[in-house]
Structure 1
Amino acid sequence: MTSWEESVVGVEVSVKGLTKSFGVQKIWQDVTLTLPQGEVSALLGPSGTGKSVFLKSLIGLLRPEEGEIWIDGTNIMECSSKELYEIRKLFGVLFQDGALFGSMNLYDNTAFPLREHTKKKESEIRSIVMDKLELVGLTGAEDKLPGEISGGMRKRAGLARALVLDPEIILVDEPDSGLDPVRTTYISQLLLNINAQIDATTLIVTHNINLARTVPDNIGMLFRKKLVMFGPREVLLTSDEPAVKQFLNGTMIGPIGMSEEKDESQMREEQKLADAGHNLGGVEDVEGIMPQMEPAPGMPYRQAVDRRRERVRGIMHELPDSAQQAIQESLDEADRQNDEHGNQGNDGRGDDRRYDDGQQDGYGNYREPAYDSPQSGSWR
């Protein structure tokens, strides 16, 4: 079994004034954000806004023209190729399609980074590989080829390979791509289970709204070649920014169009149709904030919950009123639950806390599980 007691909190990733172009086409400009240590963050945006480009820039696969990318105290924009090679060992990356080698079975796919980047003996490699395959629920599937398994299993195999070097930073590119809503929920649960066990700093690139509403601690959005916002999940989920509301509700009403951005005349025409009673898709505004998912029963307590609570308390005065209210309601409920259960400080359970048959939201509030946790190998 994976030893989560040995996990080390992931490193902070800080991006300052980042600008990237392909030729004369500017992808995004002046992007500044910080991925807090050990927390799960999500980056949203319409198709074509450069979310995957941003992810690849963080690991040096693409080089922005301007800005800084600080990882573990090092600005990788100034690194030599040799230094960048070492920095990349801090990362685990799950690409959209899993990026598995079709001619290798799942065992060899997962073992590949260990054989490439370490001098470990095969006996050590086997122990690590089987541990990671167990972590993602693929015990017994190690001899299968990627073409012999489902898309969901390929995602999990790619995740096992991303974890094999015990990364401090995990980048996940469109984990829901090609998956139905149920499997997307399972992969969301798995990502939180992993965060609870290894406490890595995690960035998920997605345009799946349910995942964005329920998984991350922090959310950002790219649109019109800029970072619209980035911060605690409550900021974006309570925002009145037109592009954010349109994206979250999935409606035609708003500035996002088929070619990313609409002109004013199209927006006026669509608003007239909506006012006349035409259905332009999407859903009504969701009242309140959906509860944040938490690790499955039996998982260790997410240390990021406590760190985030203290961090957000320190910046609440800088946030919009709607976000402050949502955060304060969660904090008040957490305090009430702690008092009812006679807990002190860190819920009185110390670092060996586990989730029982009930779960907790992102601030430690007790709630019933939304569904049974997936058993090893039981979902595809």
Structure 2
Amino acid sequence: MGVQIEVHGLAKSFGRQNIWQDVSLTVPAGELSVLLGPSGTGKSVFLKCLVGLLRPERGRIMVNGVDLCRCTESERYELRKLFGVLFQDGALFGSMTVYDNIAFPLREHTRKTEAEIRRLVNDKMELVGLVGAERKLPGELSGGMRKRAGLARALVLDPEIILCDEPDSGLDPVRTAYLSQLLVDLNAQVDVTILIVTHNISVARTVPDNLGMLYRRRLVGFGPREILLTSEEPVVAQFLGGHRHGPIGMSEETDAAEGTWPSTVPEIVPQLTPSPGLPARQAIQRRQERVRVMLPTLSPAAREHVLANWGVPR
């Protein structure tokens, strides 16, 4: 099962530019989570802080009982082995074949034989649907194939946490749907912790167990999908609905600190399920148990939509 990530009071700036402050959330172990936000809200910066590529000014990031913000270099090196990262462009080495790109972490961080490496690489290539592309260079691949190659490389060390930085970026809706299904299937098979950064509304509404949103240098909310998808918080409702009217403007300068949202509570879009033949995702039961505790705090309309989404008679 994957590993939980606990973030407490995180703040990050570049010079005088404050990216976000006082961000606190818990990414549950073995579940799919999505972090949303308008462009420029520091979603990718947040991922880089989680994996230790950037150091925040304040706060804690707890993984396996170790604070990534204050640990030694050797502790950080060991913790990074728990992570697999899928970057926006795949971050493949242009001079290496697809096979060598995927094999690179194994050759760099393990003492496995080439026969063992070949078996592991072939397994991951089959998992992401890249069998037959072993000898191709990244420049010969489509955008979707580069993403899948990047995902195979992120998976080759069998990480317990997978961070995906806008995996849908540059992909058409069909390829995005395939990649979304691949992540859901992966979680069903190995119960890995997955955190996806995106501003794709379709992905946010159908893929994750948990949703969060960054806006105006703060975390607006983070919690189970049922809670966020029925949220009456104007910013969350406007963004998830993809509407023009609300506190989010064309640019950060035209954003409003507050706003109103006159719409009714939306119904919950069904969540993407694993492909036929795969086991049911254990994360769903864990998430629904948390939501049951929260049901009394919801509005009657939100509560009705949650129960309807679960198939409970009205």
Q: Same fold (TM over 0.5)?
A: yes
Q: Distance in 2 between matches of 1:322 and 1:39?
A: 26
Structure 1's unaligned 5+ residue stretches are 1-8, 272-283, 337-380
- 1:94 is matched with 86
Q: Distance in 2 between matches of 1:136 and 1:210?
A: 21
Q: Distance in 1 between matches of 2:116 and 2:143?
A: 29
> Are residues 221 and 322 of structure 1, via their aligned partners in 2, closer, same or farther at CA, if it must alter by over 3 Å?
farther
Identity across the alignment (%): 66
- 2:219 is matched with 227
- 1:3 is matched with none
> Are residues 230 and 319 of structure 1, via their aligned partners in 2, closer, same or farther at CA, if it must alter by over 3 Å?
farther
Q: Is the 8 A contact 1:18 1:66 kept in 2?
A: yes
Residues 130-149 of structure 1: pairs in structure 2 closer than 5 A: 130-149=122-141
Pairing partner for 1:63 from 38, 55, 58 = 55
- AA partner of residue 295 (structure 2): M
- CA drift at 1:141: 1.0
> Higher mean Cα deviation, 313-322 or 197-206?
313-322
Aligned residues: 310
- 2:196 is matched with 204
- CA drift at 1:149: 1.2
- 2:120 is matched with 128
- CA drift at 1:198: 1.4
1:116 maps onto 2:108 in alignment: yes
Q: Is the 8 A contact 2:33 2:196 kept in 1?
A: yes
- 1:159 is matched with 151
Q: Distance in 2 between matches of 1:131 and 1:183?
A: 21
TM-score, normalising length: structure 2: 0.93
Q: Distance in 1 between matches of 2:113 and 2:134?
A: 19
Residues 295-310 of structure 1: pairs in structure 2 closer than 5 A: 295-310=274-289
Partner SS, residue 167 of structure 2: coil
> Are residues 308 and 147 of structure 1, via their aligned partners in 2, closer, same or farther at CA, if it must alter by over 3 Å?
same
Per-residue CA distance 1:230-274 (angstroms, 9 max, x = gap): 00112221112222222123232122223224266xx99xx9xxx
- 1:52 is matched with 44
1:255 maps onto 2:257 in alignment: no
> Are residues 244 and 309 of structure 1, via their aligned partners in 2, closer, same or farther at CA, if it must alter by over 3 Å?
closer
- 1:289 is matched with 268
Q: Is the 8 A contact 1:224 1:261 kept in 2?
A: no
Per-residue CA distance 1:181-201 (angstroms, 9 max, x = gap): 111111111110111111111
1:39 maps onto 2:31 in alignment: yes
Structure 2's unaligned 5+ residue stretches are none
- CA drift at 1:43: 0.3
- AA partner of residue 38 (structure 1): G
- CA drift at 1:286: 8.7
1:104 maps onto 2:83 in alignment: no
- AA partner of residue 90 (structure 2): G
The structure whose Rg is larger is 1
Per-residue CA distance 1:284-318 (angstroms, 9 max, x = gap): 98941110001111222211122222233234345
Pairing partner for 1:12 from 4, 8, 29 = 4
Partner SS, residue 81 of structure 2: helix
Q: Distance in 2 between matches of 1:129 and 1:286?
A: 46
- AA partner of residue 277 (structure 2): G
Instruction: Kindly report the root-mean-square deviation, in angstroms, between the aligned alpha carbons of the 2 structures.
Output: 2.0
Q: Is the 8 A contact 1:255 1:261 kept in 2?
A: no
Partner SS, residue 257 of structure 1: coil
Partner SS, residue 305 of structure 1: helix
> Are residues 62 and 288 of structure 1, via their aligned partners in 2, closer, same or farther at CA, if it must alter by over 3 Å?
same
Partner SS, residue 220 of structure 2: strand
Q: Is the 8 A contact 1:235 1:320 kept in 2?
A: no
